[in-house]
Amino acid sequence: MSATAVDVRADFPVLDREGLVYLDSAATSQKPHQVIEAMDDYYRNSNAPIHRSVYPLAAEATELFEGARERVARFVGWDARTTIFTRNATEAINLVAYAWGRENVGQGDEVLITRMEHHSNIVPWQLLCQERGARLRYVSVDRDGELAMDELDEALGEGRVKLVGVAHISNVLGTLNPVEDVVRRARAVGALTLVDGSQAAPQLSLDLRAIDADFYVWTGHKALGPTGIGVLHGRAELLEQMRPFLGGGHMISRVDDQTSTWNELPWKFEAGTSEIAEAVGLGAAVDYLSAIGMDSVRAHERELTAYALERMPEIDGLTVFGPPDPERRGGVISFAMPGIHPHDIGELCGREGVCVRAGHHCAQPLMRDMGVPATARASFHVYNSRYDIDRLVDALAKAREVFEL
C-alpha cells in the first residue's frame, strides 16, 4: 500500500504543516478530514438529544449514533447490542473490573495479566484485587519481547485465576500476542479473558468471534477517530449478568424510590448523555479504514516496520526493543541510544520536525524488567511512508552529532 500511503497523506489536514513527520500514532493518531467533517456536519445539521425525543431531528441524531455503533461493531465482527461506547479504553477496562470484578473476584482468587500491559490494564485490576483480597499475578516477557506461555499455563493450572488480561499488541514492544491461544487456554480452566486491543484495532483486520475473548476493548483516538470515545465488546450473557458500572439517566428502565431496574444492552452501561459526535466521528473513522481495507493497512504497517527495523540499526549503538521479526509485531518501535536520554532524543528529533514519543509509555513494570527508566518510540499509521523513516534516521544521526558521540 505504499502508493496508497502517499495518496492518503493528503486526507490528514495536520500533516500539511511544513516539514512535519508524525511518528507518534501509538499515542494518538491523526484524523482524516472525513472524520473531522462528519463531526462538524453532525453539529451543524443534526445535533439533538438521542433516544428520548420523537421529533424528526432527534430521530436523525439517534440514527446517526446507533448507525455508528453498528458500523463500529461490524468493523471488528461483533454485535451492536453487545458493543458499548465508553469514554476510552481505560474506562472500558474499569467498567469490567468494577461491574464484573466486584461480583466475581474474591478472597484467594487471582487476576492474571502480563508484564507488557499498559497502566490501563494494570491499575484497575490492582484496585479490584486490593478491595477484594485477591492476588494480581503477572506473566513475564522474554528477551525477544514474547510472552512466557509456560508461565501462563502454570498460573492457570493452579486453578485460582478468574480473569486473564492481555494486550493484543504491546504499545512498547510492538509484540503481537497470540490472543486466540491465550483465550483458549484460559477458557479451558474456566477463566475469563479481557483483551486490550487499543493498539490492534487501528491496524489489524479483526474478527472478534474468531478471537472469542469474553471482553475486547479499544479506543477511538488511536484508530483515526476522535478522543472521548472507546469501545467495549462483551459476551452477551456476561453483560446481562453484570451490574451497571455508572448509574444515572439513560441506563435505567424504571426508577423507584429505593431501587431501579436497568435498560437493555447496550444502554445499561451508557449512563448519562452519550458522546454523540464522537461516535459519529468513530463511525466515519472505521468507514475510512474499511475503504482502505484493513489487510492493506496491516501490510503497510508491516512493511514500514520491516523498513524501520532495517534502517534504524544503521545508527551506531542504537538498541531496538521487541521481537526482531516484523511478522510478530505491529507498527510500534521502542528504542534507546547509549549516551542520550530518551527525552533528549525526543527533543532533538522534534527540532527536525520528527515527532517521536519519549517516556515510560504508561508501562512502568515493563520498563523495570527492561532495565530502563524510559525509551524513545516511533509508531506508524496509514499516512506514514519510508520517507518518514528516512527522516527519523537522519534526525537520530544528527542527535548523535549534537552529543558528540
Ligand X SMILES: Cc1ncc(COP(=O)(O)O)c(C=O)c1O
Cell 461493531 sits on residue: 73
How many of the chain's residues bind ligand X (CB under 6 A)? 15
CB of 346 to ligand X, least distance (A): 16
Phi and psi at residue 380, in whole multiples of 5°? -120, 160
Interface stretch with ligand X, choices 70-78, 115-123, 132-140, 299-307 (CB under 6 A): 115-123
Of residues 175 and 274, the one with the C-beta less far from ligand X: 175
Residue from 295, 305, 301, 299 nearest 326 by CA: 305
The reply on whether position 171 binds ligand X by CB under 6 A is: yes
- Helix and strand element counts for the chain (H, E): 15, 15
CB of 204 to ligand X, least distance (A): 13
Q: How far apart are CA 140 and CA 149, in angstroms?
A: 9
Of residues 263 and 380, the one with the C-beta less far from ligand X: 380
Of residues 115 and 391, the one with the C-beta less far from ligand X: 115
What sign for the dihedral angle of Cα 353, 355, 356, 357?
A: positive
Of residues 64 and 362, the one with the C-beta less far from ligand X: 362
Q: How far apart are CA 167 and CA 216, in angstroms?
A: 10
Check: CB of residue 143 under 8 Å from CB of residue 195: no
CB of 301 to ligand X, least distance (A): 15
Residue choice 31, 71, 115, 118 for contact with ligand X (CB under 6 A): 118
Binders of ligand X among residues 361 to 390 (CB under 6 A) are 362
Query: Which run of H or E residues covers position 241?
Result: helix 236-241
Neighbours of 373 (CB within 10 A): 13
Of residues 82 and 121, the one with the C-beta less far from ligand X: 121
Cell 505491529 sits on residue: 330
- Per-residue x/- track, 70-99, ligand X (CB under 6 A): ------------------xxx---------
Residue choice 120, 274, 379, 385 for contact with ligand X (CB under 6 A): 120
All three cell numbers of 59, joined, read 430521530
CB of 230 to ligand X, least distance (A): 6
Q: How far apart are CA 261 and CA 116, in angstroms?
A: 39
CB of 118 to ligand X, least distance (A): 4
Q: How far apart are CA 372 and CA 360, in angstroms?
A: 9
Of residues 199 and 274, the one with the C-beta less far from ligand X: 199
CB of 171 to ligand X, least distance (A): 3
The dihedral over CA atoms of 14, 18, 23, 28, expressed in degrees to the nearest 10, equals -20
The reply on whether position 167 binds ligand X by CB under 6 A is: yes
Check: CB of residue 236 under 8 Å from CB of residue 242: no
Q: ∠331-328-378 over CA atoms, to 5°?
A: 25
Check: CB of residue 382 under 8 Å from CB of residue 5: yes
Active-site positions read: 362
Binders of ligand X among residues 344 to 363 (CB under 6 A) are 362
Contacts with 317 (C-beta within 8 Å, 6 or more apart), sequence order: 337, 338, 339, 405
- Per-residue x/- track, 192-231, ligand X (CB under 6 A): ----x-xx-------------------x-x--------x-
The reply on whether position 164 binds ligand X by CB under 6 A is: no
All three cell numbers of 255, joined, read 426508577
Q: How far apart are CA 402 and CA 405, in angstroms?
A: 8
CB of 158 to ligand X, least distance (A): 27
Interface stretch with ligand X, choices 10-18, 60-68, 118-126, 342-350 (CB under 6 A): 118-126
Of residues 225 and 283, the one with the C-beta less far from ligand X: 225
Neighbours of 180 (CB within 10 A): 14
All three cell numbers of 246, joined, read 455508572
Check: CB of residue 33 under 8 Å from CB of residue 8: no
Tell me: cis bond preceding 266? Omega within 30 of 0 counts: yes
CB of 88 to ligand X, least distance (A): 3
Of residues 46 and 197, the one with the C-beta less far from ligand X: 197
Interface stretch with ligand X, choices 113-121, 158-166, 277-285, 368-376 (CB under 6 A): 113-121
Interface stretch with ligand X, choices 36-44, 49-57, 191-199, 245-253 (CB under 6 A): 191-199
User: Which positions lie near ligand X, rule CB under 6 A?
Assistant: 88-90, 118, 120-121, 167, 171, 196, 198-199, 219, 221, 230, 362
